Structure 1
Amino acid sequence: MTIHIGAPKEDIAPTVLMPGDPYRAKWAAETFLQNAKCVNEVRGMLGFTGTWNGHDVTIQGSGMGMPSLSIYANELIADYDAQTLIRIGSCGGMQKHVGMRDIILAMTASTISTPSRGIFKDLNFAPCADYGLLSAAYAAAQQKNVATHVGGIYSSDVFYDERPDLNDQMIRHGILGVEMEAAELYNLAARHGRRALAVLTVSDHLITHEALPSKDRERSFGDMVEIALSAAFA
C-alpha cells in the first residue's frame, strides 16, 4: 500500500479507470463490474476492483484537478504497476457542433500548467493519448451509435475561470472541451511508457450555457464507462 492508496499490490488491476469523483467510482464499479470490492478508502478517495467480461479492472477516484490526479496516477504506476489508465469524467463543451451528452475522446490535451511543468522547463511538451486506446474507443463509440468527437481538449488548472480571452482562443483553435485532469495523466503515461486516454461526457457547455441536471448524468455517463472498458480490452 502507499500513502494515498491503502490496497495491497495484488488488489489493483493493470487496467485502471479514473473518475474524479469517488462516488462516481463507486457507481461505475457497482454498475459495470462483477464481484467488485472496495480496495481503497484513504481520505475518502474510493477505489474498487472487480472484473468486466473476465478482465480485472480497478476503478479509482482521482479527485479534482491535475495535482490530485498526479498523486494517484504516480502511485498506481510506480507502486502498483498499472499499465492502462483511462480517465472517465465530465467536461464542458467548447464548440457549437459538440452537443450535450456527446462523448469527447481527447487526442491531445493543451494546458497552461501541470505538475510536470518543472520537469519540462522551457519546453512546451504536447501530451497525447495512446493511439491504440483512442482508435479502439472510437470504434466502440461508433458501434454504440453514440455521438463522438475526437480532437484536442483543454485541461484547466482552475475551475472558476477568469480568463474569457483564453477560452475565446481555445474555441478559435478548435478545442472541443475543457476539463481539469487529462494533460497531466498524458504526461505521466508518456514518461513511464504506459497507455492513457481520456473519455469524457459533455455535461455543460461554455457557448450555449446548457448543463445536465444531476438526475440525467448517470444515464449519459454509462456510455462513457462502457466505451472506456471496451477500449481497454479491444
Structure 2
Amino acid sequence: MPGDSENPNADVQYHLEVGPDDVADAVLLPGNPDRLETIVADWDDHEIIARHREYRTATGSYDGTPISVTSTGIGSPSAAIALEELARVGADTFIRVGSCGAIQPEMDVGDLVITTGAVRQEGTSDEYVREDYPAAADHEVVSALIAAAERLGYDYHTGVTMSADSFYAGQGRPGFDEFEAAGSDDLIADLKAANVKNIEMEASVLLTLANLYDLRAGAVCTVYANRETGEFRTEGESRAAETASLATHLLARMDAVKRDAGADRWHAGLSLE
C-alpha cells in the first residue's frame, strides 16, 4: 500500500481543498480563476467552496440543476490535477470553459468552438497513455453543448482542437527577442490544412483523462483571436459560460430521459421535448 506521501488525499483533496460533499456531479472548468464570477452570474445561486493556488471552486444550481465550477489555471498539468481530484470526490462530468485562437478564416472573434476531439500537443497526457491514444470528447457532452448554443442563438463551430503547452513558441508565436521555435513557420498552415479549428491549452488532457477514467468531458471556448486574419479582441467570454451552464442542465435532463427509457447512452431516438 502506498504511504501518505504518495497519496496525500484523505477526505479533502490536497490541491483543490474540496471534499465529497462539496461539488456536484458536473463541473465547469475555466482556466482563469476570475472567470468563475462570469460563470456563476448565470446561476440561480452559488457558494464559494474553496480557494487554493490557481484553484477556485463554487457550487450552486442552474435552472434547478446542481452544478459546480473549478478554475484550473493555465495549461494541462494543473488541469489534470483538477480533474483527478474532482473525480476523487465524485464528479463525473467535466466541461472546459475557455478562450482560444481560431485558425480557420470563417471563424469570427466572439464565436464559440465546441470541441469534438483534440490534437495532443501537450505533454501531460503522455504521462498517462501512449501518444497515439485519441483525445475524444464525449458525444453526450458535445450534443448538449450544441443544443445549448442553438437555444441561446450563439454562432458556433464544431471540430478538432489543438492543445499546446506553450502560449508563445508552441502556438507559432515569437518568443522573447523574436525567438522562433523549430517548425513554427509552418505550424498554423499545417493545422489549418488538417481542418483543425482552434488552439488552446487544456482540452486534450481533460478529454484523454476522462476517457481513461470512463467519465464525460467536453470543451467550449470563445474565440478571442483569429490567427488567420490577425484579429484579436477579448469579447464574448460570457457566451461560453452560459452555453456550458445550460449544457449541464440539458445533460441532467438527458440522463433522466435515459433512465426512464432504460437506455445506457443518449441517442437519436430519444428526445428532450
| 2:121 alignment partner, SS class | coil
Distance 2:80 2:102 in 1: 24
Distance 2:24 2:37 in 1: 16
State the Cα distance separating 1:18 from its structure 2 match.
0.4
Amino acid in the other structure paired with 2:122: S
1:50 and 2:60 equivalent?
Answer: yes
For residue 178 of structure 1, what is the aligned residue in structure 2? 199
- Normalized against structure 2, the TM-score is what? 0.79
For residue 128 of structure 1, what is the aligned residue in structure 2? 136
CA RMSD of aligned residues (A): 1.4
State the Cα distance separating 1:133 from its structure 2 match.
1.3
Distance 1:70 1:120 in 2: 13
Q: Which structure 1 residue ranges, 4+ long, deviate > 4 Å from structure 2?
A: none
Distance 1:197 1:233 in 2: 14
1:15 and 2:36 equivalent?
Answer: no
Amino acid in the other structure paired with 1:41: R
State the Cα distance separating 1:145 from its structure 2 match.
2.0
1:208 and 2:229 equivalent?
Answer: yes
Q: 1:138 aligns with which of 146, 153, 157?
A: 146
Contact 2:43–2:61 under 8 Å retained in 1? yes
Bigger CA radius of gyration:
2
Deviates more, 1:140-149 or 1:10-19: 140-149
Contact 2:135–2:204 under 8 Å retained in 1? yes
| 2:53 alignment partner, SS class | helix
1:196 and 2:217 equivalent?
Answer: yes
- Structure 1, unmatched stretches of 5+, are none
Contact 2:15–2:52 under 8 Å retained in 1? yes
Contact 2:102–2:225 under 8 Å retained in 1? yes
- Normalized against structure 1, the TM-score is what? 0.92
CA distance 1:119–1:17, shift in 2 (3 Å): closer
1:226 and 2:234 equivalent?
Answer: no
State the Cα distance separating 1:138 from its structure 2 match.
1.0
Task: Decide which structure has greater helix share.
Answer: 1
Deviates more, 1:192-201 or 1:104-113: 104-113
Amino acid in the other structure paired with 1:43: R
For residue 35 of structure 2, what is the aligned residue in structure 1? 24
For residue 156 of structure 2, what is the aligned residue in structure 1? 148
Q: 2:127 aligns with which of 113, 118, 125?
A: 118
For residue 14 of structure 2, what is the aligned residue in structure 1? 3
Identity, in percent, stands at: 29
State the Cα distance separating 1:139 from its structure 2 match.
1.9
Contact 2:16–2:56 under 8 Å retained in 1? no
Distance 2:94 2:107 in 1: 25
Deviations 1:133-181 (A, max 9, x none): 1112112212222111111010011111232322221011111110000
Amino acid in the other structure paired with 2:127: G
| 1:111 alignment partner, SS class | strand
1:97 and 2:106 equivalent?
Answer: yes
State the Cα distance separating 1:27 from its structure 2 match.
2.8
Q: 2:89 aligns with which of 77, 80, 89?
A: 80
- Structure 2, unmatched stretches of 5+, are 1-11, 170-180, 251-273
Q: 1:160 aligns with which of 168, 175, 185?
A: 168
State the Cα distance separating 1:2 from its structure 2 match.
0.9
Contact 1:106–1:152 under 8 Å retained in 2? yes
Distance 2:244 2:162 in 1: 20
Contact 2:29–2:97 under 8 Å retained in 1? yes
State the Cα distance separating 1:45 from its structure 2 match.
2.2
Contact 2:39–2:242 under 8 Å retained in 1? no
Amino acid in the other structure paired with 1:204: A
Matched positions, count: 226
Amino acid in the other structure paired with 1:76: L
